[in-house]
Amino acid sequence: MSHSAAAQLEAIFLENFLKYFKNAEARRRWSITRDVPWEKVNPASSDLTADIVQFFSAVEMFLPDYTGKMMELIRRSRGRAWFHANWGYEESKHSLVLEDWLLRSGKRTEEQLRDFENSLQGAEWELPFDHPRQMMIYTMVQELATGLNYTNLRRRAEQEGDGALAGLLRWVAADESAHYNFFRKGVKAYLALQPEETTADLKFVFEHFSMPARALIPGWEERSREIDAAGIYGPRMYFQKVRLPILEDLGLTRQQLKRAGAGDDVADAIADRAEQKAEDARRAVVCRTHSVPPFPEALGPSGRRRLHPKL
């Protein structure tokens, strides 16, 4: 990496982190005890909802690995490292608040929670990619997917009349969406400064993407099938609501989309839409900057414009 590209990337990451932090402090901080309407918890929520909550809490339980191992990889970047410390704090609340709901709804006892935690112990999550740029892409994809999981679970909680679960999931999903936004801006910076490498990495990461801790949580496959059947998250949703929107959002050219592994049909559809949008925007500017007569000009019988219409 050229020195100047590295320095520019670092400056962008730091600026992005400072904006992220300022915004989080001003508008997104929340408290498990104060900001969740616990009085609206519904002990009659379905058992499947409780199983899914426990499953999501298990994914969040590998926090020491997510924070520690990632930090080693990016510690030279002030923007990314400071972001990661803040990210770790926010993620730590996610497993706590999900566990709180399991207890307060009466769906699990303390003992059951500890047994479940013990069943996860000993397993360690490993970095799925070993380059900081690839991890930026991976976390972008993973955060959008995680946010989608929580948003869909919130809808289910609303249907089941659990205001506490719906309320806490709103906070959690807002965190995940802010995380996604930080990573996507980072990927866009990489794309601007290292387009070739980043496009190749997009292909590589998409080809090898799987949700974190997949191999570490007992019963993952079975639980994933239930989550898919409940309309919360599955391979189709990943393709439609994660992978496609990301490819569309990154502003890649037709060639870049193909190099990023989008597949010819998908690449052409996205590129055509982007070109149409650009054309529409260009026309809108032309209309704004050139005065357009409010009515069609009067035409003479021959179809020619009358310069001096008869009074």
**Interface with Fe ion (CB under 5 A):** 91, 94, 143, 176, 179
Q: Closer to Fe ion by CB, 94 or 258: give it.
A: 94
Nearest approach in angstroms of CB 214 to Fe ion is 16
Residue in the block written with tokens 């219409």: 309
Nearest approach in angstroms of CB 91 to Fe ion is 5
In whole angstroms, what is the distance from residue 37 CA to residue 248 CA?
A: 37
Nearest approach in angstroms of CB 263 to Fe ion is 28
Tokens of 5: 């590209």
Q: Closer to Fe ion by CB, 242 or 270: give it.
A: 242
Nearest approach in angstroms of CB 288 to Fe ion is 40
Q: Closer to Fe ion by CB, 243 or 258: give it.
A: 243
Q: Closer to Fe ion by CB, 20 or 267: give it.
A: 20
Q: Closer to Fe ion by CB, 143 or 162: give it.
A: 143
Nearest approach in angstroms of CB 95 to Fe ion is 8
